Amino acid sequence: MEQTRTIIGAEYPKKVIPLIDGAKRSILMCMFEWRWYKNDFAHPVSLFNSALLRAHRRGVKVRILTNYAEVIAFVTELGFNAKKWPDKSLLHSKLLIIDGEKCVTGSHNITQSAFTSNIEISTILDDTYDIKRFTDYFETLWKR
């Protein structure tokens, strides 16, 4: 059995940023809520966003799917390949797939509340079967 790791509450940036920093090829991301605190570089959300930007700048292909046009406009300006969810139904998924080898999923959004005060839980999966299923799920959503 491959390793599964639980992320509780404020642990999210501490556990996920190293995974992003270790990405070599690709990051696929579905995110319901996602914030950018442009004036607070030390904020945990800013540290997460900076890790994504570093990955992109070192050549990792980052694809992002989210609900909000303003987020899409901002991350597209930074050079990310991003799409707004096209349906009237909300994209409520929270998913991060790194190099097709690690998957982070659960209740965490990329927000101050999720990283500091909400009651959140997510998990890091290493299981190749699950990661394949999550990747197929992402690709199906991406094609819509």
**How many CA within 13 A on the CB side of residue 21?**
10
Q: What is the pLDDT of residues 47-75, one digit of tens each?
A: 999 999 999 999 999 999 999 888 899 89
Q: What's the pLDDT at 1? A: 46
pLDDT at 38 (0 to 100): 79
Which of 15, 83, 84, 99 is catalytic? The answer is: 99
The 61-66 sheet, strands edge to edge: 4-8, 121-125, 102-106, 94-98, 26-31, 61-66, 81-84
Could you read off the pLDDT of 5-50 as tens digits, one per residue? 999 999 999 999 999 999 999 999 999 999 888 788 889 999 999 9
Among 14, 24, 38, 92, the active-site one is: 92
Q: Is 92 a catalytic residue?
A: yes
Rounded Cα distance, 43 and 52, in Å: 14
pLDDT in tens, 89-121: 999 999 999 999 999 999 999 999 999 999 999
* Count of the separate structural domains present in the chain: 1
**108 among known catalytic residues:** no
Q: How many CB atoms lie within 10 A of CB 15?
A: 16
Which domain range does residue 104 map to?
A: 4-142
Percent of the chain with pLDDT over 70: 97
- Catalytic site residue 99? yes
Q: Which of 43, 94, 102, 108 is catalytic?
A: 94
CATH number of the domain at 125, please.
3.30.870.10
Structure tokens at 47: 């540290």
